[in-house]
A and B are shown apart, each in its own frame.
Chain A
Amino acid sequence: MHKCVRCNRIASSLEEINAGCPCGSKVFVFNKNGDSGNRSAAEEAKAGEENAGAAPEVQQQVQAVAEAPVIMKQNGKAPSSYYARTSFTTDDVENIRVQSEGVFVLDLNTLLKSPVVLKDEEGVYYVKLPYDEKKAAKGKKAKK
């Protein structure tokens, strides 16, 4: 579920997320479990009791986390691709390979220096020709 960071209202549809919350905010936080924002009073009380038995410094930490803005909360871990390594050679002209639909491998080093060259699953290459909008705009003005 997606929850508005300003008023905590839960978005009921994708259209609402795109259009923004009625309160005016356009920022939503995604909650994978979809239930932590709607804990019942009994659950809240139970959690409070559990925390009450903890050491003071732990209670302080719990309090600090609870008071942090909702948007800051994340329990993300690195995706498996975090540790991915690619092996592009100097003979490769492409800097993006499409291995299959939705699976992309990138050569960051050549992306930093060269135009985007994409190679699809069938070995077809696509080149994105560089176009400097600022220089083009300057050239047009000079012609005038």
Chain B
Amino acid sequence: MIHRLFDWLRGIFSRKKAIRLGIYGSPNAGKTTLANRICVDFVGEPMGAVSPVPHETRTVQKKDNISLKFHGCKLSMSLLDMPGIAVKVDYRDFLEYGISKEEAQKRARDATRGVVDAVKKMDEVDAALFIIDATEDPYTQVNITILGNIEARKVPVIIVANKIDLPNANTAKVQEAFPGYDMVQVSAMTGENLNGLYKEIVEKLS
């Protein structure tokens, strides 16, 4: 009886606060696809819709009470799926997807607001996953600026080289561009090496 009471009290006092894990990256890097994978794996339901049209996520999406369990370790977290960060938002990028000009211009306004929100939220996250599309050139102004600012805030960050299921993925180039960072290569779409990512998250953040 006393043991049970002691365990209960120890459980209360040793309970860690959930960390806020932000998912950052450029538009169409696969942030929401990855967030959905994590949510489906640990909560049982996806987080948000994905689309081939850039800037599909235009507001910060949050999922609380995610308990990431991996090999006996447990990490409580809130997941924040950020809008894609870009230095230029041009409505003409959306027109090729069959969206009307007015709708595309509204989408561009909302996407710009989303970028501002995502940038401002950087002060509120405890850790970050920075998603890079491994099929694209990683040396972009967004990748360099955002990673530099995350590091300057001393926020732990894991680079996730995504889309390794595609034949032109080049994760070596991503690692070469950002050599000082921990990197995990995954395919959020097929689920390839997500266990490797979960292991890295638990080891680095718990």
Contact = CB atoms under 8 A, between A and B. Distances in A.
Interface of A: 2, 5, 27-30, 32, 61, 64-65, 68-69, 71-86, 96, 101-109, 111-112, 116
B87 A86 contact: yes
A110 to B, nearest CB: 10
14 contacts: A27-B46, A32-B97, A71-B49, A72-B188, A74-B28, A76-B53, A82-B27, A82-B28, A96-B112, A103-B90, A106-B89, A108-B141, A111-B115, A112-B149
Interface of B: 26-28, 30, 33, 36-37, 40, 46, 48-54, 56, 85-93, 97-98, 101, 104-105, 108-109, 112, 115-116, 119-120, 122, 133, 136-137, 140-142, 145-146, 149, 165, 188-191
Contacts of A111: 115-116, 119-120
Contacts of A61: 165, 190
B46 to A, nearest CB: 5
A18 B27 CA distance: 23
Nearest 10 interchain pairs by C-beta:
A102-B91, A102-B105, A84-B88, A76-B52, A30-B51, A76-B28, A79-B93, A79-B54, A102-B108, A81-B88
Contacts of A80: 90, 93
Contacts of B33: 71-72, 74
